[in-house]
Amino acid sequence: MKISKLIKKAGFMIAGVTLLSGLAACSSTTRGGGATEGALQEGDLIGISMPTKADQRWNVDGGNLVKELEAAGFKTKLAYANNSPSQQSTDINNLVSAGAKAVVVASVDGTAVGPAVQQAKDGGATVIAYDRLIMNTEAVDYYVTFDLERTGILEAETIIRRLDLENGGGKDIPYNIALFAGSDDDNNAPYFFKGAWDLLQPYFESGQLVDPSGIVTKDFTVEDWKKISVHAWDQSQAQKQMDAIMTKLGDQPLAAVLSPYDAISLGVMKSIKNARPDMTPSIPFDAKNPTNKSAWPIITGQDGMDIAITNIYYGAQEQTVFKDVSLLAKQTTTLIKEISEGKTPSSDKKPMNNGKKDVPTWLMQSDELVKEPTGDQKGLDYVVETGFITEDQYQKDIKAPIIE
């Protein structure tokens, strides 16, 4: 073929491509910012489905999402599922029927919610898993959460330090520790536990730590986590499980309790108070005098709940892993805004697999709150600084009675 013919042919092909892409552009009518008809647009309704009002953090999360999304020009509708998976499915259906173009879901049960989000997706809505991953479904577009293992890492590091395990604490007489994991239907729970167990297991191996219940031994693995899980993160369920451990403990000292959530910590404390009235928060476990039976164990937690602020202030709880949930609401809003502008959000973090797909994931950073912070730790009033609670509420917290 002659060069001139080639050029002619190439010119035709280029024109053809242009023509085809022009047709493609025409076939999807555009509104406003150039996004596709039917897709999420600025001003649209965003449905928010939260697990329960009974837990302090989800109230703050819901409020933050409404505030951020409305400030970005969206309408919102917020539903709480009373910790019931079937109620949450109804909520999501209702949000989509009300016209939601995206649903933000903090699931009660990460697997049970699958069919409802599939329906939302089929109805054209974008699905964002909020804090907890939605499992075993293709119908989840994005996931925003905190660095999950970090929760367990911060909790375990505190236990290791306070029990002086690195310097041989528990070598002569093993230290008793009780361990709890989160809810069996929450994909976050094994990650929290993994963060802690990777650090604590070596001390079970060396014999410095023992679980009086006998459930957790050096051979326990992260896959066994459901043996120590607390269904629905429920405080009274945690109390019952701790009662059984206290029976096995008898009159021995208790050095520590790994708890992944402040309400579980509270259930644990109530159990200790009933079973061992001799133990008192005014005498915290001291690695220099580990045989003191009256010593109160080092207890961890998560969320910076009011009750945890009180208990840490008075020494009944050692720390809480605090999540500045305003960051999560802001990140969710950024995603929704980008989608409404026709962009595809991209994260530099590793996607998380939900059993069916790799879900693009955004991770926020949590902080450890203690009474007397050192290094990277934060003081208790950080909950006020981040807007999680008001100064008034904080003042009430640090005047409230402990373990009521």
Binding region for ligand BGC (CB under 6 A): 55, 57, 131-132, 186, 188, 233, 261, 302-303, 323
Strand (E) or helix (H) holding 282: strand 280-284
Q: How far is the CB of 244 from ligand BGC (least distance, A)?
A: 22
Nearest approach, Cβ of residue 212 and ligand BGC (Å): 25
CB of 313 to ligand BGC, least distance (A): 20
**Rounded to the nearest 10 degrees, how much is the dihedral formed by the CA atoms of 220, 222, 224, 226?**
130
Number of C-beta neighbours around residue 289 at 10 A: 10
Q: Which of 332, 264, 276, 307 is nearest to 394 (CA)?
A: 307
First to last CA, the chain: 91
Q: How far is the CB of 248 from ligand BGC (least distance, A)?
A: 26
Q: What angle do CA 284, 239, 226 make, to 5 degrees?
A: 105
Cβ proximity to ligand BGC, 142 vs 175, nearer residue: 142
Cβ 311 to ligand BGC, closest distance in Å?
A: 15
**Residue nearer to ligand BGC on the CB measure, 76 or 188:** 188
Residue 112 beta carbon to ligand BGC: minimum distance, rounded to whole angstroms: 15
Cβ at position 368, least distance to ligand BGC in Å: 14
CB nearer to ligand BGC: pick between 44 and 186: 186
Q: What residues are paired with 48 via a beta bridge?
A: 78, 104
* C-beta of 241 vs 302, nearer to ligand BGC: 302
The structure tokens listed for 312 are: 């840490």
Q: How far is CA 116 from CA 39, 127, 188, in A?
A: 19, 10, 20
Tokens of 387: 């807007």
Task: Give the nearer residue to ligand BGC in terms of CB position, either 146 or 285.
Answer: 146
Closer to ligand BGC by CB, 101 or 132: give it.
Answer: 132
Q: What's the CA gap between 142 and 346, in Å, rounded? A: 10
Q: Are 48 and 64 in contact (CB under 8 A)?
A: no
Least distance from C-beta 62 to ligand BGC, angstroms? 13
Nearer to ligand BGC, 169 or 190 (CB): 190
Question: CA 4 to CA 13: how far, in whole Å?
Answer: 14
CB 341, min distance to ligand BGC, A: 29
- Reported for 139-142, long-range contacts at CB under 8 A and 24+ positions apart, including other chains, are 139/114, 140/354, 140/357, 140/359, 141/359, 141/360, 142/335, 142/345, 142/359, 142/360, 142/361, 142/362
Using the minimum distance from each CB to ligand BGC, give the nearer residue, 188 or 229. 188
Closer CB to ligand BGC, residue 103 or residue 209? 103
Amino acid occupying residue 248 = K
- Separation between Cα atoms, residue 36 and residue 27, nearest integer Å: 10
